[in-house]
Amino acid sequence: MVIPEYISKQEKGGFAGTLKNYQASLEIAQKLAASDPSNSQWQRDLLVSLKRIIEWHNYRYSVLDAPSILDSEYDKLFLELQQLEQRNPQLLTPDSPTQRAGAAPLKEFSQITHRSPMLSLNNEFEIAAVEAFDRRIREGLGTDVVEYAVEPKFDGLAVSLCYENGLLVTGATRGDGHIGEDVTLNLRTVKSIPLHLRTGAHNDHSPTLLEVRGEVLMLKEDFEKLNRQQREKKEKEFVNPRNAAAGSLRQLDPNVTATRRLTFLAYGIGVHEGGGVPRDKHSKVMEYIANQGFSIANECSVVSGSAALLSYFQKIGELRERLPYDIDGVVYKVNNLVQQGKLGFISRAPRFAVAHKFPAQEVLTELLGINVQVGRTGVLTPVARLKPIFVGGATVTHATLHNEDEINRKDVMIGDSVIVRRAGDVIPEVVGAEVELRPSNARRFIMPNQCPVCSASAMRMPNETVVRCTGGLFCPAQRKQAILHFASRGGMDIEGLGDKLVDQLVDSNLIRTPA
């Protein structure tokens, strides 16, 4: 892909202003288009605005490794563009983001043309959409039940590895789906990537050509170690394992990549010649890949019918937090390769496969204010008051900010658009702020020097990261928490003594101490 002129020009002028301008233009276009769906010019203006902002985010995400939007927010924009083009097919153009798989490679890397396109998958989020996918497949094949290969959807960087006569010769990123970046030297440092196939370079059974496709990612444990090292060196931390993996792989110096613990997990093959590669089922292809020395997900399976697809989705969702790597959904593929060929492709994705994505664990919302809570030991904890947002399967209105140092480290200001993360039963937290979207009236949070409950002095002791109320049990907040702790299962185990009753007893001055 050639980087659009408006992107290259605006990049020189500063990203923050560009994104604000694009966002403002999009909001105006959305309002006008919604007010009169029959106005073709307003529909066209909306399409231009959507294409422009999506291309910008594509460039930041896939080329610069500096994403400026959450995946969930990007998916909304992409879906809006898809639906607009479906309603107005005359507006669809070959250069639309919906017609390609990714973004352009960096100029610093040489380029590799993929022997066959590395297409992306269409995303589905609802049960009804998965059932509709299965129905389309059955109708397209003229059968009552379809067998599917199912697997986790890795949240990493897609790459292609080409082996000739059993030896690794090239490795490339997906790029725009047709041309990727040559990162062969960097990929050779990833220990989970075989430099030669197990059949051996001189074995007659080696394929003369085998293209293995998969994702480079960073395991959660390795991500934590890397960020710990970044903190010790007082360098910028990575936002998530996906960004860390992408940034590590796309280093111009392979020696830097070699210091990062990256992992490769295979999910399929591209072109191949000779070597007894299975040609009947995808599940057998995965077994073949594993036998050649590649890592594949242990959770790969084969199921039949839409009910089994949804059951697998639920199963993997329950396992998600215990997996050693990040995933953002599952992938369903027709298992029979002949049937895959019959179903074919659309412009940017195969008809025979789809990604079923989990509810977003990170979303963007507005930080309305910061409240301060007082705990049992007097610790003052800042808590974000948020514009209500649905994340991780629940509506969230508050999230922890931990302490004053964390607020400053994350550069969070009241009025910011902030990233909120909620995973499983974990307490929601503010991950950081989208500084590029910061309004002019945003303001810094200052930790109070008095307890917000009892007005006693609040102090931060040397070598501590927290501020404490000095009121002790005179402070109603500390008194309530102390009584609850005293009555808890780990204490006196007093049944029926909960938050509401303790509030009433303390507020009425009927209880002054746990004793």
Taking a C-beta distance cutoff of 8 angstroms, is the pair 406, 344 a contact?
Answer: no
For residues 69 and 80, what is the distance between their CA atoms, to the nearest angstrom? 16
Dist CA 29 CA 41 (whole Å): 10
Q: Compute the distance between CA of residue 367 and CA of residue 419 in angstroms, rounded to an integer.
A: 9
In order, the DSSP letters of 280-313 are SBHHHHHHHHHHTT----TT-EEEESHHHHHHHH
Please enumerate in sequence order all residues whose Cβ is within 8 A of that of 327, keeping only pairs 6 or more positions apart, or say none: 152, 153, 154, 155, 316, 320, 358
Q: Which two tokens stand for residue 270?
A: 């591209």
- Percent helix / strand / coil, the chain, rounded to 5: 35, 25, 40
Cβ neighbours of residue 216 closer than 8 Å, sequence gap 6 or more: 156, 157, 159, 187, 190, 245, 249, 262, 263, 264
Rounded distance between C-alpha atoms, residue 289 and residue 278, angstroms: 10
- 20 is annotated as an active-site residue: no
**Is the alpha carbon torsion for 28, 29, 35, 36 positive or negative?**
positive
- For 384, phi then psi, to 5°, come to -75, 135
Catalytic residue among 51, 153, 357, 410: 153
- SS3 of 412, please? coil
CB 186 within 8 A of CB 320: no
Residues sharing a CB contact under 8 Å with residue 181, sequence separation 6 or more, in sequence order: 105, 106, 109, 110, 111, 112, 172, 173, 175, 250
Task: Catalogue the active-site residues.
Answer: 153
